[in-house]
Amino acid sequence: MMARRTHKEIVEWERAFPTGRRGGYPAFVEDIRKLRDSYYAEFLKDKSPRLATIDEVIAAFGKPPPEEFSEAYDLSDEDLEGRLKHVQRKYMLRFKNIRRSWAMLLQYMPELMLQGRKRNVLEMSTAHGATLEILRYFGHEVRGNDFPNFLTGKTGVDSRFRGVNEHDLTRFTDDHGLNDGDQDNHELDWIYRPITESIGLEVDLFDGGHLPYPYEDKSFDFVCCMDAIEHYCHPKDWLEIVNEFVRISRESVLIITNPVQGHLVDDESYMKPFYKFHQDMQSYSRDGFGCVLAGVHRNQLTVFKLLKTGT
C-alpha cells in the first residue's frame, strides 16, 4: 500500500498519523508497553527462531524515542517532487528512520544514549540523519558524512569492488548529474540533502573509499559507520578504512556491516578477504584501540566495536 503513494503523500500521511498510528505517539508508547509485558512470555511459549523486530528491541529496553521525533520531515514540494524522488519511499518516514536507528543505538552505543557527558561524534554515510538526530537529542556534538558511492552505469565503476583509493568517484559526478552545476565548485547534489537540512544537520560530502579523510588526527570522540563500509571498497581493503576511523577517533569506533549478499557467498575472491576482515577485527590492535565487541546481528557477524584501552 505504501509503495503506491508518492513521496509527498508519504510525508503527508505521516503528518496526519504520527508514528503511523491513528492514536499518534501515545498509541505507540502503549503498544511498546504491551509488547514489553508480553514479549518474553510469548517467546518462551513459541521459541520461534526469528529475529527480533525493531519494536521488540525497543520494548526490551523499555525506552521508546521521545514524541518530538514523531513529527514528519518539513520538506518543500519542489524537493519532494525533485531530488527526493530518488530516495527509497521507506526512508521518507521520519519516525520509522528514528525507530530503526534508536534500536541500533540502544544495543551498540548505550553510553551515548544518556544525558550527561557530551561527546563529539562523526557518522560515516549518515543518509537521512536519524542516528545523528538522536545523538544530538542527548546533547552530543554531531557531524555526518556521505557521498553517492555505489556508482555503476556510464562510469563502469562499482565502488563495492574497487580497491581503496582506486577510482576517484568525484571525477564521475558531473556525468551522473551529482554536481551543483558549478564546475569550479565540486559540491555534490546529494539526494538526502533536503532531509538533513530540514533537521539542521551538518554533513560533509566526500568519498569514504578515498583516504585520508579531511579531518585532523583525533578530531572526534566517537566514529560510527553502519551498513556502509561495504560500499566503500572491496573487503580486502576494509581494514584500511577502519584504520582511518581509528586515526580520527579519540575514544571509540563502531562498524556494522550489511549482511553479505547471497550471490557473493560462492565468490572466493570476495569471501576469503571478507572472513579475514572478521579475524583481523577480533584481534585488532592499533594506536591503543582494541576490539571490545564482536556481535552477530541479522544472523551474521556484522558488528565490531573498538575502544581505546591503552596507549
Contact criterion met (CB below 8 Å) for 195 and 88: no
**The sheet that has 249-256: what strands, in order across it?**
203-205, 141-146, 120-124, 220-226, 249-256, 300-308, 289-297, 285-286
Q: What is the DSSP letter of 292?
A: E
Rounded Cα distance, 231 and 267, in Å:
17
Main-chain dihedrals φ then ψ at residue 145, nearest 5 degrees: -135, 150
Q: What are phi and psi of 142, to 5 degrees?
A: -130, 150
Residue 31, helix vs strand vs coil: helix
pTM of the model: 0.90
pLDDT tens by residue, the chain, 311 residues: 445 789 999 999 999 999 999 999 999 999 999 988 887 677 667 666 678 899 999 999 999 999 999 999 999 999 999 889 889 999 999 999 999 999 999 999 999 999 888 999 999 999 999 999 999 999 999 999 998 766 555 566 788 899 999 877 766 654 444 444 333 333 456 889 999 999 999 999 999 999 999 999 999 999 999 999 999 999 999 999 999 999 999 999 999 999 888 888 889 999 999 999 999 999 999 999 999 999 998 888 999 999 998 77
* Grid-cell match 538522536, residue found: 134
Q: Are 305 and 291 in contact (CB under 8 A)?
A: yes
Between CA 147 and CA 204 the distance in angstroms is 9
DSSP for 233-274? S-GGGHHHHHHHHHHHEEEEEEEEPPPPPGGGTT-HHHHHHH
